[in-house]
Amino acid sequence: MKIQYEEWNPNPAAQLDIERAEEICRRYARQGYDLTLRQLYYQFVARAWIPNNMRSYKRLGDIVNRARLSGRLDWNYIVDRTRNLAGNSHWPDPSSIIDSAARSFALDKWIGQPVRVEVWVEKEALAGVVGRVAEDRDVDWFACRGYVSQSELWRAGQRLAGYLDADQDVVVLHLGDHDPSGLDMSRDIADRLSMFLSPTHDADRVQVRRIALNRDQIDLYRPPPNPAKLTDSRATAYINEHGDESWELDALDPTVLAALINSHIDEVIDPDLYHSQQVDEERHRDLLSATSSRWHEVVDLMGGDR
């Protein structure tokens, strides 16, 4: 949706950046993705259109802002995943909520699976990518926002213990930056989850699998590097092993992240059990839809007002 709120005549360099942003955003929108400003920025950097520095990031942000206000760029292309309106849901009548329930009704398609999967991502800014693929596969996911809080990891330990009690092994797929803290977060999650499982549970049945961002992916996809954060207490050990460059998860193409998550889910899922749950789910949805379409008969039967 393009809406003009102010006049602006961009110079040729800014106009070229607007056209490039439009091309990138339109391509991802066709695949069902929106982008954060930082994701768009890394698409520019990866194509060598701009240098990788704060000045370039701020300049692109200013251009995108003015392009949207002047009606040159679709408002739906760029999103802020950290600030969202919350509120209650409403329906015009009871039949509408039943119809909504029919469309949203879902069985837990991982019940009975030998392995239970969760996807954890370091950054909330990537929730749109991770959340979409996880929800498509009916997998629970979690934006960690850096190091996971003690409270949330304790809750995770209790939740995963429940899966173990149901005779399911657990795989936590973790995605984070390739920098001193980002790499350490995967270790920290594994250590504290093991601590929060009770002695009666076999911690070896819970696997924290770091699936991104790893060195082989950096070598393959060549995301733009950043200087390693020297102020990080883990910087010395990181630099000794990986050098003085670091890489952000945001720099990977969203389709690459989605394919990566899907491939790891495919490794552990029993497709026949999953399909059986899908069939039952669709049958229940049909029943709810039929109830919604014949709501007036239900009301008459109950002797109430429509």
Here the contacts of 156-165 (C-beta below 8 Å, separation 24 or greater) are 156/193, 156/196, 157/192, 157/193, 157/195, 157/196, 157/197, 158/196, 160/116, 160/193, 160/197, 160/206, 161/197, 161/198, 161/201, 163/116, 164/197, 164/201, 164/202, 164/205, 164/206, 165/201
Dist. CA 122–CA 181, nearest whole Å: 10
pLDDT for position 29: 92
Domains of the chain: which residue ranges? 12-69, 114-269
pLDDT in tens, the chain (306 residues): 999 999 999 999 999 999 999 999 999 999 888 899 999 999 999 898 999 999 999 999 999 999 999 999 999 999 887 777 788 888 888 888 888 888 889 999 999 999 999 999 999 888 889 999 999 999 999 999 999 999 999 999 999 999 999 999 999 999 999 999 999 999 999 999 999 998 889 999 999 999 999 999 999 999 999 888 888 889 999 999 999 999 999 999 999 999 999 999 999 999 999 999 999 999 999 988 888 888 778 777 777 665
CATH topology of domain 114-269: Dna Topoisomerase Vi A Subunit; Chain: A, domain 2 (3.40.1360)
pLDDT for position 305: 61
Global pTM?
A: 0.83
pLDDT for position 89: 82
pLDDT for position 164: 96
